Amino acid sequence: MVFILIIVAAITFAIFFLLPRLAGETAYGLATQYVGRNPTPAAVVSMEHQLGLDQPVYVQFGRFLWAIVAGEHYNGAWCGPPCLGYSFKNQQPVWPQLVSDIPVTFSLMIGAAVIWLIAGVTIGVISALKRGTIFDRFSMTIALLGVSLPIFFTGLIALELFSYKWPIFPNVQYVPFTQNPYEWAKNLVLPWLVLAFLYAALYARLTRAGMLETMNEDYIRTARAKGLPERTVILKHALRAALTPIVTIFGLDIGLLLGGAIITEYTFSLHGLGLFTIEAIDNQDFPEIMGVTLLACFFIVIANLIVDILYAVLDPRVRY
Amino acid sequence: MAPLLEVRDLRIDFPTDDGLVKAVDGVSFSLDRGRTLGIVGESGSGKSVTSLGIMGLHHGTKAQITGEIRLDGEELAHADPARVRELRGAKMAMIFQDPLSSLHPFYKVGDQIVEAYRIHHRKATGKQARQHAVDMLGRVGIPQPAVRAEDYPHQFSGGMRQRVMIAMALCNDPELLIADEPTTALDVTVQAQILDLISDLQAEFGSAVIIITHDLGVVAELADDILVMYAGRAAEYGAGTGIFGQPGHPYTWGLLASMPRLDRERQTRLVPIPGTPPSLIRVPPGCPFHPRCRYTALTGGRCPTEVPVLREAVTPGHAAACHLTVAQKAREWAALSADQVPADAGEPEARQSVPQGGAES
């Protein structure tokens, strides 16, 4: 796991620090961008030194890695582990900025995940059981819409309708849970629904396909032959088997979203990791980009690990 | 006393886009307590659908069922599905062909048996049910049943899995046990063990058993009565001794002649039945077997036009649906069993001349 993270760090580092250099960008040129208007050569050289750009590339990378483990002094300021670099633009360590953005992304993800899991799985199961009926066709058409429509479209429509035309959820902004749980939830309802719409559609289709497959399994016939009520057959025998692959995908989706729901956060101006990423890219702030990439990667790796463990728990046939 | 199970003129149809599939087309039989009925036939002859109809497992599909199924006097074919569900697993139980796919892969076998027991014994405590499950596993010959109850199906061998299935089917002491191809997925050595187990347990529990198979060896070993099915209809029905001693239907002759036997000369050729089973959507008119039958010339053109009814065959106590006269049957079977292989047997032209019945359903 640590190995994967180092590899990812190396690749991101290579993309943002080595490639520009190969393309002819110099440390001096890079530093010029961060000094301000009308830079004097002396100021640029001083900035180059402050940002550590005057050192060889491998030393910069080494410092970056070391800072994650042990912390590091950047520009005279202490950056505690996991430092994740020192922002060129803001002239401050990256990690504290990330920390303040994580709760926003996490809040967005957790609410949406609950909604899409419940809605997606329920609709998927009912669709599979009532295959070919009006309900099935209607919900699968909606699901197709959900999968196809981009979030910047559904998000803006939702904002237009429910924030401006009928101001049920006006001025969406992030209120910390600890400060006011009601306001926290109320402000996040729209982003939750918009994000959940996409994923619920995906999960409804997956669940439907999985249920249709398991309902034809021999052990479902056995369960019926035992005289179990249809409810038990569906919930305990069929759904249990159909949900196992869904759990896998769910874990990976969560890992991915923790790295920032970029479009949703941008659409609703929620300052989470997604918006952080966009700003970092806008500012060409390489350390910030590296920091957020590495953090996202960390979430994905952890999610993968949990999924693998969970899979062995859910399916007794799986052994490592 | 009335028989435990009585099936009269059972018809099960499945509407499909291509037409009506007559999976079971007017089958009647009865079965007493403690007796064993063997239902024999090729794939698509309707033998499994018959059993699913008895168990009420056709509910939820598009199957249309007519006729009568009486279990201990109670009508099931048109009964409330909820009532049939109460009987299912309690009064009638079923074991299936492939024990690996028939057991739920995610639950321990002990828990699966407990579930089957408690659904019909609501007052039983978890501990009692558990003890009962372990007892049942022991009775079907699983060593260390208390330990193995904690294992998952994939940790058992094929034969042991089928034993688990049997334990689960018998845990509520059913009066009727339906075994649908119980040994087909197993090794030959294990097959014999499972068959012995079924007949031992039948003696112990006193239940009636229906054994569905395409393997005449299995029926010969276990069955008191035999029902030979072809294209959803009964071709021959009666006591096992009668059918094996003096079979009265060319289809049964074909089944017997195509079966390898140790008590014959090795040089004796096996005689296959030419052609394939007919489509159940377009069953041939008259006798459904006539396109594959070698004896149609003997009946004066009745075979393709007139549906034969089940009537007393060569020996009393069993009936066959064939237009041949008793004397003709006796003569032809005598010739066959004297290893006079029919002149056309095994020759490719003869097989090609048989109209193909279409897709097997």
- CA atoms of B361 and B43, how far apart (whole Å): 8
Residue B277 structure tokens? 């089973």
Convert B267-294 to b/e letters by CB count within 10 Å (16 or more is b). Answer: eeeebebbbbbbbbeebbebbbbbbbbb
Q: How far does the CA of residue B328 sit from the closest CA of chain A (Å)?
A: 45
- What confidence tens digit (pLDDT) does each residue in A130-183 have? 988 999 999 999 999 999 999 999 999 999 999 888 888 888 888 888 898 999
Residue B177 pairs with which residues in a beta bridge?
B93, B209
Which comes out higher in pLDDT, residue A20 or B283?
B283
Report the C-alpha gap between B173 and A260 in whole angstroms: 59
Contacts of A224 in chain B (CB under 8 A): 57, 88
Q: Sort A139 into a burial class: Cβ within 10 Å, 0-12 / 13-18 / 19+.
A: buried
Question: In this structure, which amino acid lies at residue B240?
Answer: G
**pLDDT value, residue A118:** 95
Q: Radius of gyration of chain A from Cα atoms?
A: 24
State whether A155 and A248 are in the same domain.
yes
Q: Do A59 and A136 reside in the same domain of the chain?
A: no
B99 and B161 in contact (C-beta within 8 Å)?
yes
CA nearest to B56 within chain A: A225
Give the 3-state secondary structure of residue A93: strand
Confirm if A201 and A193 have CB atoms less than 8 A apart.
Answer: no
A50 and A187 inside one domain: no
Residues with Cβ within 8 Å of B226's Cβ and at least 6 positions away in sequence, in order, are: B37, B38, B39, B40, B219, B236, B237, B238, B239, B240, B243, B244, B318
Find, in chain A, the residue whose alpha carbon is nearest to that of B98: A218
Cβ–Cβ under 8 Å, residues A116 and A206: no
- Rounded to an integer, the average pLDDT of A117-140 is 94
Domain final residue pick, A83, A116, A142? A83
Q: Determine, for residues B88 and A223 on separate chains, whether the beta-carbon distance falls below 8 Å.
A: no
Nearest to B85 among A229, A237, A241 (CB): A229
Rounded distance between C-alpha atoms, residue A44 and residue A36, angstroms? 9
Assess whether A119 and A67 both reside in one domain: no
Domain boundaries, chain B: 5-228, 231-352
Percent of chain A with pLDDT strictly greater than 90: 45
**Integer Cα distance of A146 and A127 in angstroms:** 16
- A41 and A148 assigned to the same domain: no
- A125 and A265 housed in the same domain: yes
CA-to-CA distance for B29 and B37, rounded, in angstroms?
9
Average pLDDT (A203-223) is 94
> Tokens representing B27?
């089958």
Residue A19 lies in a domain: yes
Question: Identity (one letter) of the amino acid at A304?
Answer: N
Q: Which residue of A has its CA nearest to B83?
A: A227
Nearest CA in chain B to A241: B106
Domain boundary among A61, A83, A105: A83
Strands of the sheet with B5-16, listed across from one edge = B19-31, B5-16, B64-71, B74-75
- Of A83, A108, A142, which closes a domain? A83
Residue A156 is assigned to a structural domain of this protein = yes
Residue A138 sits in the same domain as residue A217? yes
| % of chain A beyond a pLDDT of 70 | 99
> Closest Cα of chain A to B225: distance in Å?
24
How many A×B Cβ pairs under 8 Å? 69
| Residue A207 is assigned to a structural domain of this protein | yes
Amino acid making up residue B227:
L
**Is-contact A188 A111, C-beta < 8 A?**
yes
Q: Give me the helices (H) in chain A, please.
A: 2-13, 19-22, 27-32, 41-50, 57-70, 94-129, 134-148, 151-159, 181-214, 218-225, 230-232, 239-258, 262-267, 273-282, 286-314
Is the pLDDT at A238 greater than 60? The verdict is yes
Question: Is residue A319 included in any domain, yes or no?
Answer: no
Select the residue from A130, A133, A226, A311 to test the B interface by mutation, using most B Cβ atoms within 10 A.
Answer: A226
| Spatial separation of the C-alpha atoms in residues B12 and B3, rounded to whole Å | 22
CA A132 to chain B, closest CA, distance in angstroms equals 13
Query: Taking all residues of chain A, what is their mean pLDDT, rounded to a whole number?
Result: 88
Q: For A211, what's the count of Cα atoms within 13 Å in the CB-facing half-sphere?
A: 23
Predicted TM-score (pTM) of the model is 0.82
Same domain, yes or no: A178 and A203: yes
Residue in A225, A237, A314 nearest the CB of B57? A225
What pLDDT is attached to residue A7? 87
Left, alpha or beta for A245 (phi > 0: left; psi -120 to 50: alpha)? alpha
Residue A147 lies in a domain: yes
**What are φ and ψ of residue B180, in 5° steps?**
-95, 105
Strand B92-95 and strand B176-180: the pairing is parallel
State whether A227 and B119 contact (CB < 8 Å). yes
Q: Report d(CA A247, CA A245) in Å as an integer.
A: 5
Which DSSP string corresponds to A163-200?
A: IIIS-SS-S-----TTT-HHHHHHHHHHHHHHHHHHHH
DSSP 3-state of A213: helix
At residue B345, the pLDDT reads 47
| Domains B5-228 and B231-352 fall in the same CATH topology | yes
Q: What is the 3-state secondary structure (H, E, C) of chain B?
A: CCCCEEEEEEEEEEEECCEEEEEEEEEEEEECCCCEEEEECCCCCCHHHHHHHHHCCCCCCCCEEEEEEEECCEECCCCCHHHHHHHECCCEEEECCCHHHHCCCCCCHHHHHHHHHHCCCCCCCHHHHHHHHHHHHHHCCCCCHHHHCCCCHHHCCHHHHHHHHHHHHHCCCCCEEEEECCCCCCCHHHHHHHHHHHHHHHHHHCCEEEEEECCHHHHHHHCCEEEEEECCEEEEEEEHHHHHHCCCCHHHHHHHHCCCCCCCCCCCCCCCCCCCCCCCCCCCCCCCCHHHCCCHHHHCCCCCCCCCCCEECCCCCEEECCCCCHHHHHHHHHHHHCCCCCCCCCCHHHHHCCCCCCCCC
pLDDT at B267: 67
The long-range contacts involving B339-344, CB below 8 angstroms and separated by at least 24 positions, are: B339/B264, B339/B265, B339/B268, B341/B269, B341/B271, B342/B271, B342/B294, B344/B294
- For residues B79 and B36, give the distance between their C-alpha atoms in angstroms, rounded to a whole number: 25
Q: A205 Cβ partners below 8 Å, 6+ apart?
A: A124, A140, A143, A147
CATH number 3.40.50.300 given to B5-228: yes
Whole-angstrom distance, CA of residue B177 vs CA of residue B222:
13
Q: What is the pLDDT along chain B (361 residues), one digit of tens a residue?
A: 688 999 999 999 999 888 888 999 999 999 999 999 999 988 888 888 999 999 988 866 788 899 999 999 899 988 898 999 999 999 999 999 888 899 999 999 999 999 999 999 999 899 999 999 999 999 999 999 999 999 999 999 989 999 999 999 999 999 999 999 998 888 888 888 899 999 999 988 889 999 999 888 888 888 999 999 999 999 999 888 888 888 888 998 888 888 777 776 666 677 788 888 888 888 888 899 998 888 888 888 888 888 888 887 667 778 889 888 888 888 888 888 776 555 444 444 444 444 444 444 4
Please state the domain count of chain A.
2
Q: Is A317 on the interface with B (CB under 8 A)?
A: yes
Is the pLDDT higher at A222 or at A19?
A222
Q: Which domain holds residue A129?
A: 95-314
Specify the pLDDT at position B8. 92
Q: How far is CA A252 from the centre of its chain?
A: 10
pLDDT for residue B347: 42
In a domain, A90, yes or no: no
Inter-chain touch A219–B85, beta carbons under 8 Å = no
Same structural domain, A180 and A289: yes
From A96, A89, A124, select the one nearest A239 (Cα to Cα): A124
Residues 6+ apart with CB under 8 A from B139: B167, B170, B201
- Please give the pLDDT value at position A284: 82
- Answer yes or no: is pLDDT of A264 > 50: yes
Written as six digits, the tokens of B149 are 């109850």
Option in B60, B106, B119 nearest A226 (CB) = B119
**Which positions in chain B touch A219 (Cβ < 8 Å)?**
101-105
A313 touches chain B (CB under 8 A): no
Fold designation for B231-352: Rossmann fold (3.40.50)
Evaluate whether residue A320 is within a structural domain. no
- Decide which of B211 and A15 is more confident: B211
Q: Say yes or no: A132 and A269 in one domain.
A: yes
In a domain, A88, yes or no: no
Query: Are residues A223 and A292 both part of a single domain?
Result: yes
